[in-house]
Amino acid sequence: MRGGAFRNGRIVLADSVVEGSLSYADGVIAAVSEGAATTGVDLEGDYLIAGLIELHTDHLENHYRPRPGVFWDPLASLHAHDVQIAGSGITTVFDAVRIGSDSDVPNMAPHIEALTGAIASGRRDGWLRAEHFVHLRCELPSHDVLEHFEAYAAHPETRLASMMDHTPGQRQFQSLDAYKQFYQIGRTEEELERYIEARLADHARYSAAHRSHIVRRAQELGLALASHDDATLAHVEQGVEDGVAIAEFPTTLEAAAAAHDGGQAILMGAPNVVRGRSHSGNVSATDLVRAGLLDILSSDYVPFAMLQAAFRLPQRVEGMTLPQALAMVTANPAKAAGLVDRGEIAIGKRADLVRVRVIGGLPVVRGVWRQGVRVS
């Protein structure tokens, strides 16, 4: 890999922003210097930050299934997703792939194979801009989730599994009214009631046993585990007991505080920060930041929201610095995922870099490099 350099930039380090230059060689950062330099790409005063690391995004699935009943070509879906991911400053992404069939998609198996196969193909053939891993979203009440888990947990790109339960009255949807509002589309009131009854029956039959199996197998495989939508102390206590490392989208301040005390990294959606509230009416991510209870921001369903939220937080939260905010989308997710070679601008770390200019309050991506190679 060729070397290179940047000059005349505002370089965001772990605990400060310095005006100066950076050089890299063989895909890793070789030097960071303050003051003027005469060689390298002129950043014209723009920020230079570490490449963003995304642990949970549904965006690939949204490209693959753009409408109910419509499934797009998986490689084309991955290409469109990858372009937007890299263009948003994300250089490492964990693509969420749902496992477990339901009434909306009665047979998930071919779709899981299509998406994981596309990721493997893109990595093998070397055309992906960002580095892609697989995040298995395990829907615990699904009758075939264990079959899917066993088929893909040892997939070479699989690095993370999250345990989900979208049963009405549970976790994200403790409020039945909120659940009905989310799932009402395309259903009559009577159809929705039957749908809810079926979901409750599946939860009672499968959830506990499936969770126990996935926890045991993940531990055997050395796979990182995340909980999802913890709402109560009991949810968090179960996660701590199961060795869960990441608490995704806790729905209450109480649950987030308990997860923090239990040593879990707390992940929330960046769109929650940008919008100023949860789309489900749950706890605000910004409130968690103010309480010192937020470690990681995820794009969830809007890739650019990560960068937007990181630059917005110092304006919203008194005392928060830009390096602290950016750590939530760089160093902290890298640590939680065990990626010790990236996540900050430091000598010896990967030259995953993003050039950013703030225009009218918006952090505009002007260039992205992965291991020193420009990808966007």
pLDDT band at 372 (very low <50, low <70, confident <90, very high): very high
Residue 175 or residue 56, greater confidence: 56
pLDDT, residue 176, reads 55
Distance, in Å, from the CA atom of 284 to the CA atom of 268, rounded to the nearest integer, reads 9
Crossing angle (nearest 10°) for helices 145-152 and 109-125: 20
pLDDT, residue 169, reads 61
Q: Starting from the edge strand earliest in sequence, which strands make up the sheet with 90-99, in order?
A: 52-57, 90-99, 131-139, 158-164, 224-228, 246-248, 265-269, 296-298
Q: What are the percentages of helix, strand and coil residues in the chain, rounded to 5?
A: 40, 25, 35
Label the pairing between strands 373-374 and 90-99.
Answer: unpaired
Q: pTM here?
A: 0.92
Pick the CATH number of 52-340 from 3.20.20.140, 3.30.390.30, 3.40.50.300, 3.20.20.70: 3.20.20.140
* Topology of the domain covering 1-50+342-376: Urease, subunit C; domain 1 (2.30.40)
Residues 6+ apart with CB under 8 A from 119: 78, 95, 132, 133, 134, 157
Distance, in Å, from the CA atom of 67 to the CA atom of 64, rounded to the nearest integer, reads 9
pLDDT band at 193 (very low <50, low <70, confident <90, very high): confident
pLDDT band at 200 (very low <50, low <70, confident <90, very high): confident
- Between 100-114, 177-191, 194-208, 220-234, the lowest mean confidence (pLDDT) is in 177-191
Domain residue spans of the chain: 1-50+342-376, 52-340
